[in-house]
Amino acid sequence: MFTNMETPMTDEKQRAPLTIPIKIAQKTIEPPHVGENKIEFRDYSFYYGKFKALGNISLQIPPNQITAIIGPSGCGKSTLLRSINRMNDLVPNVRTEGQIILSGEDIIGPSADVVDVRRRVGMVFQRPNPFPKSIYDNVAYGPRLYGISHRQGLDEIVYNALRQAALWDEVKDKLRQSAMALSGGQQQRLCIARALAVEPEVILMDEPASALDPVATLKIEELMQTLKESYTIIIVTHNMQQAARVSDFTAFMMIDSPQTRTGVMVEYGPTTQIFTNPKNKQTEDYITGRFG
């Protein structure tokens, strides 16, 4: 991760204005421009009925990097994440404003195909949730949805996915056994393999290691470093040290006031800068643990 400090992109970011006092920040923040953005939030707001959960979020996620979203409990990090793969659609009575752009296309407008969005944006959840099927069937579930059969190379897809998730060696002899028999860390890597099997562009991770022991957590973190070469990764985490260890960019969110409880983006920048010299005092207070 420290090699990022040498790349020319870092200097560019240092020069761009990164945060503005929070009252103004509700409009737009100018995050660093890194060429084509993989995902872009344009003035995105999200409502549960009357309650404004996310307020005017503007954020640009660069490709093939790991972006971490941090913030205190209840500030809307998970809601933001789930907006990207439209999992919030499952909740009744929700409303959105603004746009979310994935590789140049709007994914929440009426012309967007939800099924395709969910294929392109994979998700790994907080608690591993493998299906109560065999390991093979778990990974093959996604490709089978899209009509891929044995003849069309299902075996190979499963193999590649398990390889990428650094799980192949551990399960190659027991592909037909139930996935529930694996350990927590293995189950989580299985869920990652399952998401990889449909060849996504983006992988969302909602506190992927919070239910795992330290060794399993480290394995997942190492895996993320490998995966970012091929995918864009966005991770929500409560663990600041993990965010600092693992991510290239960090976005800090907070609620704007105890009355309205709307989540807003406070600061966004390279991880090295956020954790050594954040520009916003609220970010600094949160990161150093003086918050609250």
Binding stretches for another protein (CB under 8 A) = 85, 87, 90, 114-119, 122-123, 125, 127, 129-133, 141-142, 145-146, 177-178, 180-181, 191, 194-195, 198, 240-241, 244, 275-278, 284, 287-292
Instruction: Work out how close the CB of 43 gets to another protein at its nearest, in angstroms, rounded to a whole number.
Output: 26
Nearer residue to another protein within complex by CB, 24 or 91: 91
- Nearer to another protein (CB atom), residue 130 or residue 270: 130
| Shortest CB 133 distance to another protein, Å | 8
Residue with tokens 């404003």: 97
* Nearest to another protein of 60, 217 (CB atom): 217
Task: Specify the length of the chain in residues.
Answer: 292
In terms of CB distance, is 221 or 284 closer to another protein?
Answer: 284
Q: Which residue has the tokens 């070469």?
A: 229
Nearer residue to another protein within complex by CB, 97 or 284: 284
Q: Cβ neighbours of residue 289 under 8 Å, at least 6 residues apart?
A: none
Least CB distance from residue 262 to another protein, whole Å? 24
| Strand positions, DSSP E, the chain | 39-48, 51-61, 66-70, 94-102, 105-106, 121-124, 202-206, 232-236, 249-255, 263-270
Sheet strand arrangement including 51-61? 105-106, 94-102, 39-48, 51-61, 263-270, 249-255, 66-70, 232-236, 202-206, 121-124
Residue 267 zone, left/alpha/beta (φ > 0; ψ -120 to 50; rest)? beta
User: Considering the complex, what minimum distance in angstroms separates the CB of residue 278 from another protein?
Assistant: 6
Closest approach of another protein to the CB of residue 90, in Å = 7
